[in-house]
Amino acid sequence: MRLYHHPRDAAPVHRELTALGTLQRKVRERRARRQAIQAAAVQVFSDKGFSRATMEDIARQAELSVGTIYLYYRSKEELYVSLLFESMKIFTGAIEKIMATGLPPDRQLKKVWEYFYTYHTRYPQSYRVLLFLQQPGLTAGISPKTLQEINVRAGRNFSLVSRVVAAAMAKGIYRAHEPREVVDLLWSLFLGLVHLSETRQNLGVTISTLKDLHRKAFRWLEAGLRPR
């Protein structure tokens, strides 16, 4: 396990300028390959978990050779982290879009909460990738710089939602709380719901679907937020 690595994301430096069209195609292809690998990795990681997933599994899934993956990612860890970044980016985008709607803040919050579920439905694996970060020892293989980057990006997402909550409080729609803490609770609740429902699925229990719990949870939570 290489502990840290330099990013392999940077565009390759060409000594002489090749035809512009060719260069563009190259860049496009490179991006496409990266995405293909990520798609395969998301699948495999979420099927087997980080440790049990093998690079060969991922290669097979991507219909590529193992060596090729290492042309795009320096290590299993780096590949994993790239998935995390991707997840976070999608999240950020979705939240920003909701905030741009100009809806009343409580309606926005509801949409955010709904997006949690949508995201989980659409990218169930990406979701699970997020959960890996809790695994002890995983962070040992990630460079401090990358960890810092993860923090920044995660913090950004939390801040965005905090702003929505703060707006609702400012308008008196919600009672005064520390907005950031409200977001922590919201997110924790969703995290826990997913965890619970997945555990139950693992164990073969079928009661109370995530969908159901998710809907009811918000109503209940919001009731606690609104003034009496």
| C-beta of 75 vs 157, nearer to DNA | 75
The span from the CA of 181 to the CA of 85, in Å, is 24
DSSP code string of 32-58:
HHHHHHHHHHHHHHHHHHHHH--HHHH
122 binds, among its own copies, DNA, none (CB under 5 to 8 A by kind): none
Asked whether the beta carbons of 173 and 104 are under 8 A apart, the reply is yes
Using the contact rule CB under 7 A, the part of the chain among 72-80, 96-104, 192-200, 211-219 near DNA is: 72-80
- Selected from 7, 9, 14, 176, the binder of DNA by CB under 7 A is 14
Contacts of 94 (CB under 8 A, 6+ apart): 115, 119
192 binds, among its own copies, DNA, none (CB under 5 to 8 A by kind): its own copies
The span from the CA of 201 to the CA of 1, in Å, is 33
- Binding residues for its own copies, rule: CB under 8 A, are 15, 46-52, 63, 128, 131, 133-139, 144, 147, 150-151, 154-155, 177, 180-181, 184-185, 187-193, 195-196, 198-199, 202-205, 207-208, 212-213, 216-217, 220-225, 228
